[in-house]
């Protein structure tokens, strides 16, 4: 209700929602964009779990891809530039895949599992048992699959970043490097990836920022080696779950 009033520029008696209405008006955010993000919260509240890779990507869309689209609008990407908005979504998908890979044991301990049931069945891994020491080796064998998805979407996102203004492009590329480094570290650590929380150190972040500067100045991204399978259009309009 408050979200609707905010987009209608009606008073809400809540500074956060009033601010949302102002931001939406200034940047061209739409109610659909907000609803897509809210749907991500609804999935978690419902303790929803993905059964297939498509379900996994739907979750990633609502909790991160849709946020990427909103951020692109805030950066000034016009609503009719659908391809750049698609690529902004791809970056959010890549970020969330890295998060899921890093946090899989922590999520499992909290009764949540974002790895598709289909993937777990292939290895006879039970949801709720991913943290068991005897299952770590099996769990690690799923990470190349997860990180390969992350890589493809991160590579696709660079094609959209190339169309942004320089400072925005540099920021996006730096964030992409930092987040994908999380995924790379999970992959490299194999079964030891979840012994302690994986982080990107301050020094490593500075290196990524410097390399992103060079990449932003060159501005000649390469397309993914393999095409991506899922786009935001596969998850619009919001479906029931």
Count other C-beta atoms under 10 Å from residue 203's C-beta. 8
Are 69 and 33 a contacting pair, CB within 8 Å? yes
Q: What whole-number distance in Å separates Cα of residue 131 and Cα of residue 110? A: 11
User: In this structure, which topology does domain 31-235 adopt according to CATH?
Assistant: Farnesyl Diphosphate Synthase (1.10.600)
Beta-carbon-side half-sphere exposure of residue 23 (alpha carbons within 13 Å): 16
Residues 100-155 have pLDDT tens digits of 999 999 999 888 999 999 999 999 998 888 888 899 999 999 999 999 999 999 99
Are 102 and 182 a contacting pair, CB within 8 Å? yes
Residues 140-156 have pLDDT tens digits of 999 999 999 999 999 99
- Radius of gyration, alpha carbons of the chain: 19
Task: Give the pLDDT band (50/70/90) at residue 237.
Answer: low
Torsion of CA 98, 104, 105, 111, to 10 degrees: 140
Under DSSP, the state recorded for 229 is S
The token pair that represents 32 in the structure block: 């659909």
Are 224 and 152 a contacting pair, CB within 8 Å? yes
The token pair that represents 136 in the structure block: 């770590």
What is the per-residue pLDDT for 241?
44
The domains of the chain are located at 31-235
């Amino acid at each position: 209700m408050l979200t609707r009033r905010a987009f209608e520029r009606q008073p809400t008696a809540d500074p956060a929602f009033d601010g949302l209405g102002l931001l939406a008006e200034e940047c061209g955010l739409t109610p659909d964009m907000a609803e897509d993000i809210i749907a991500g919260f609804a999935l978690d509240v419902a303790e929803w779990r993905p059964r297939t890779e498509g379900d996994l990507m739907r979750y990633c869309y609502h909790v991160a891809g849709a946020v990427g689209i909103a951020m692109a609008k805030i950066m000034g990407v016009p609503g009719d530039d659908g391809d750049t908005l698609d690529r902004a979504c791809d970056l959010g998908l890549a970020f969330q895949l890295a998060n899921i890979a890093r946090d899989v044991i922590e999520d499992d301990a909290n009764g949540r599992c974002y790895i598709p049931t289909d993937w777990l069945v292939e290895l006879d891994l039970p949801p709720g048992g991913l943290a068991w020491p005897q299952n770590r080796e099996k769990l690690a064998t799923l990470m190349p699959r997860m990180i390969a998805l992350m890589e493809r979407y991160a590579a696709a996102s660079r094609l959209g970043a190339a169309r942004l203004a320089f400072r925005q492009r540099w920021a996006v590329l730096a964030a992409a490097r930092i987040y994908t480094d999380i995924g790379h570290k999970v992959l490299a650590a194999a079964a030891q990836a979840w012994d302690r929380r994986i982080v990107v150190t301050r020094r490593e972040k500075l290196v990524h920022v410097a390399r992103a500067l060079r990449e932003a100045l060159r501005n000649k991204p390469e397309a993914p080696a393999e095409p991506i399978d899922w786009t935001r259009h596969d998850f619009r309009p919001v479906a029931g779950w």
